[in-house]
Structure 1
Amino acid sequence: MLDVGFSELLVFGIIALLVLGPEKLPVAARFVGKWYAKIKRTVSNVQNDIDRELRLSELREQMQLEMQRIQELEQKMQAQMHELQQNKLAEEKQNNAASASIAPKSSNITYHFMQASIPTVYLSRIWLKKLATSVHSVQRVKPLTVETKHLEVAV
């Protein structure tokens, strides 16, 4: 803060000793020391507050820039989604028009069921009944039966 050398402090001390005297000099030195500490703390607090406010304003600017960037990306994504939806609708219209012109009104659709043996453990009874009545090629598998013999418990 102030550039004060040792010789200047010595001269200041001698003048204070002559003006105040040896009895009041320690009291005055403590008083000056307390006020110097208070002033130094106040100045450092003000500097810290200014630094904090500067950092806060920089962070706000960065946050606003990021928010603008996010909004731009959101607009681009919405435009792309809209374009994809329009493309999908156009493809569906083309497929509907093509299938209406190619396929006759009464088309015979054949379904081929794959024969599979699925253990009944995995299927519910209702589903098996529906499957057995609607499809004749499904094989029913007997449920697994597990015999429990003697169970020993160690205590």
Structure 2
Amino acid sequence: MDETTFVRSLEDQLCFEVYKASNGFSRMYGRALKSFGITFPQYLVLLALWDEDHIFIKNISDRLGMSIGTLNPILNRLTAQGWIQKVASDSDKRAVVVTLTEKSQQSKKAISKAILNEIIQCDLTDIGNEAFKRGLKSLNNEFKSLEERNDVKN
């Protein structure tokens, strides 16, 4: 790759296509989640908790790649809406454990169905394509490695 990569028009830039796809996913999930009163970032938090409930905020932050400063307002809204509970850790009073409520546990299937319906309407049934996901995971791993190398330098 050389500097001619950046001479391309906007529509020919990989970064622009990724940006548009990210916005498209956010809007699609937003439509699916609207009736539940949650946003796409809030849904991502719920996904992390559905994978592993009763975890520290730091673990959620690490899993989602969100800073604590970004994550805390999301958690506060989810708490106010009755989706999660936050309690001080028994082992470390400075740490907070996040737990799913009955509402979030009972809503998981309905939320998943609403998202599936949106995916079908958008004709994205191949979204689970493993090669596509592997490529995106590889790209994200490269970005993470680059960040870690830059953190070490600074």
Which one has a larger percent helix, Structure 1 or Structure 2?
Answer: 2
Choose 1 or 2 for highest CA Rg: 1
TM range (shorter): under 0.3
Q: Determine which structure has greater relative contact order: mean sequence separation of CA pairs < 8 Å that are 6+ residues apart, divided by chain length.
A: 2
Structure 2 length-normalised TM: 0.21
So what's the TM-score if we normalise by structure 1? 0.21
